[in-house]
Amino acid sequence: MTLYKASCHCGAVKYSIEGAFNYLIECNCSICSLRAHILWFVNLDDLKFECGEDHLTTYKFGKKHLNHRSCKTCNIAMFTHGDDKGVEKAGLNIRTFAELDLSKLDITHYDGKAL
CATH number where 22 lies? 2.170.150.70
Which structural domain, as residue segments, surrounds residue 64? Answer: 2-114
Q: Are strands 24-27 and 56-59 parallel, antiparallel or unpaired?
A: unpaired
Query: Over 90: is that where the pLDDT of 8 sits?
Result: yes
- How many structural domains compose the chain? 1
Model pTM? 0.92
Choose among 106, 73, 90, 66: nearest CA to 7. 73
pLDDT in tens, 92-106: 999 999 989 999 999
Note the pLDDT tens digit of each residue in 57-86.
999 988 899 999 999 999 999 999 999 888
Report the distance separating Cα 47 and Cα 85, nearest Å. Answer: 19
Helices then strands, counting H and E runs in the chain, come out as 1, 10
pLDDT for 62 equals: 85
